[in-house]
Each structure stands twice: as C-alpha cells, then as structure tokens.
Amino acid sequence: MSFPYEIKSVDPELNKEILSVFSGERQGYYHVGPKKYLLNSSYAKEAAQYYNVEVRPDDVWVVTYPRSGTTWTQELVWLLNNNLDYDRALKERLNERFPYLEISVLVHEGFRKDIIEYNNNDPDCIEALKKMCEPGYEAVKKMESPRHIKSHYPLSLLPPNLVDTCKVIYVARNPRDVAVSYYYQNRLLKFMGFEADFAKFWDLFQRDSVLWAPFWSHVEEGWELRNHPNMLFLFYEDMKKDLPAAIRKVAAFLNKTLTDDQVAKLVSHLDINNFKNNPAMKQIPDVIKGMERDGEPGFVRQGKTGSWRAEFTPEMSAKADAWMREHEKHTDLRFQL
C-alpha cells in the first residue's frame, strides 16, 4: 500500500521526555509528514492501512482534534441519521454505533498484556479487549452502510478521497479548553497514562509534543476545506451558545428535516447532565477492569467553554495569548474566548 509521507522517529531527547510522563506508550513517538504530526509506535506500523481505508459514498465521518466536542457531535449525527432512534442510542454504546477508527493504535500491545493479567486472564475481558483493539481499517470493512466513523487523524493522514466521496463534519474548539480537557482525559485513560501536572501538559501541548499535534495544523486542514459541499465545519463554542441552531445546521447538512419538538427533544438528550449520565457514552466495556484511573473525572467531564481560566496561571495565560497571536498571523481562523 502506498503512503505519501515520511515517518521519522522524534529526537531521542524529546522521545525520552514524552515517555517519562506518558506511561501508556512503551516504545516511542514519530513525526509524520511535513507538518510533523506526533503519533506513536503502533501508528508507524499501520499508517498506510489507515491512509488507504476504503471510503463509501454514504459514510458520515466526524473528524476532530481530541476533546473538541467529538462525542457530543457523534451522538447528534448518529441520531439524525438514524431516525432519532433514542431507544437504541440509550442501549447500545456509542463506540459500537459510531466507532473510533484508530483506537487500537493507542492501546500498546504491552499495555494490553498488563490489562489481561490485571483481569486474571478473564475470557470475557480478553474477548472485549480483542474487539476493542481490532485495527480500525479492518473493523470498518465489516460495517453495514451507512457507516458512521470517528477519527482524530488530521485530514491529510486519512484517505485522500474522503471529502470528495462522503460527508465529513469537522469540529474545532478553543485550544486552551482543548488542552485542559485533553489533560484530564490523558490522566483518566491508563493507556495514555499522563503522570504529571497540567503545567507540564500545556508545555508539551504548546510544543506540539502530545498525540495528534500540531493542533494548529490539524484544525487548519479542516478550515481550508470549510467551503467544500461535503464538509461541515463547526465551532464547539457555537454549538454551546445555540444548540438548537447547531442541530438544524447539522440536520440540513445531512438532508434531514426536523420539527420544533424534535429539536427540543434532541436538545434535552444532548444536555450535558443527561449526556454525561448516559451509560451508552461509556468508552470502556464493563468487563475490562483497570483501563481507567480511579479518582479522575469521567470521560464526559464538564462540557463548558472558558473553563481553562480556572486551570491557567497568569503566566501560562500570557504565554497562551502570545502563542495564539503568533499562529493567527498565518490564518484567518479565529477562536472565541
């Protein structure tokens, strides 16, 4: 299979630094392509397979940088495209209805062995872990159409015919809120296993040294395609500010018509308090123990905008402002505060 980009190991000192605070990865990190997207050892072995995934015309993809409102958008999109089937949406985990393409590359083989041992070789755990870690490029082949697929890969690392073939929704969020949410997720999920404080995480985030970075390159790839007829570019902040309007915009993109009552019911279903307590949002099957760290906020955390202010020191905030101004020199993309 062809793959057009160079994959190079990151500088040894940087690799050592990242590995020292992320316990999930066991081997190391790579820079991919001219934008130097940071990805891990499993990706380096499977890059071509993901780049060459077969795309179907009736697919719907949600693509985001992590922690940009992905799960929220997935649930909305799936319901709109499945005749508002709330019964199924409440019973069947979102990850099964709307799978995460590259989840398998995040769970290092060494970590999988540790989890199996932690679960005392429980057959149900082994089977669930096997299903969870099936390479996404194999799993999506087996899906019936219309498929719904989530990915955090930047568009340049996904199939080159993606946007010309099917509908893609890209969601962007203020990077300061992204970083805070991403920090808590990386602490929660042991296969990511971040072991330091937020100041260290933000330092790595700004230096494009966390998975899927650089943030700006990732978002700009979506922004550049915002006028393509098959692309819907959304801001998380707009969705939070006026969810009914966002629902109608996504429905129109998917060629769906909604009554006011249907919009109101979707708004209620997607309300953060209902959403975070919905068992279908659970990311890890119950039979797999030890994948999440005790004492951390859940996968669906606050769903707020501007919560970064509670986490940033004045010095960090000043550096973040300068970092954003520097990047805004090169794009007309602007984030709401």
Asked if residues 259 and 80 have their Cβ atoms less than 8 Å apart, the reply is no
Average pLDDT on 216-222 reads 98
Distance from C-alpha of 137 to C-alpha of 332, rounded to nearest angstrom: 34
Counting every residue written for the chain, the total comes to 337
What tokens appear for 227 in the block?
């006028």
178, with CB counted inside 10 A (0-12, 13-18, 19+), is buried
Closest CA to 291 of 133, 178, 172: 133
314 occurs within a structural domain: yes
7 occurs within a structural domain: no
**Of 110-114, 210-214, 280-284, 325-329, the least confident:** 280-284
Q: What is the mean pLDDT of the chain?
A: 93
31 occurs within a structural domain: no
Name the maximum alpha-carbon separation found in the chain: 57
Distance from C-alpha of 138 to C-alpha of 132, rounded to nearest angstrom: 12
34 occurs within a structural domain: no
pLDDT 10s digits, 69-112: 999 999 999 999 999 999 999 899 988 999 999 999 999 888 99
Distance from C-alpha of 163 to C-alpha of 153, rounded to nearest angstrom: 14
**pLDDT exceeds 70 at position 166:** yes
Distance from C-alpha of 82 to C-alpha of 74, rounded to nearest angstrom: 12
Going by pLDDT thresholds of 50, 70 and 90, the confidence category of residue 124 is very high
**pLDDT exceeds 90 at position 279:** no
Going by pLDDT thresholds of 50, 70 and 90, the confidence category of residue 321 is very high
313 occurs within a structural domain: yes
Residue 287, amino acid: V
- Number of domains observed in the structure of the chain: 1
Closest CA to 248 of 275, 272, 266, 236: 266
pLDDT higher for 159 or 131?
159
Its domain, for residue 118, covers 54-328
pLDDT higher for 273 or 161?
161
pTM score of the predicted model: 0.94
207 occurs within a structural domain: yes
The CATH number of residue 77's host domain is: 3.40.50.300
Average pLDDT on 238-267 reads 97
**pLDDT exceeds 90 at position 5:** yes
CA dist 152 to 67, 77, 104, 113, 315, Å? 9, 16, 13, 25, 30
Percent of the chain with pLDDT over 90: 81
17 occurs within a structural domain: no
Query: In 218-329, at which residue ranges do the beta strands (DSSP E only) sit?
Result: 231-235
Distance from C-alpha of 303 to C-alpha of 266, rounded to nearest angstrom: 16
What was the pLDDT predicted at 310? 85
3 occurs within a structural domain: no
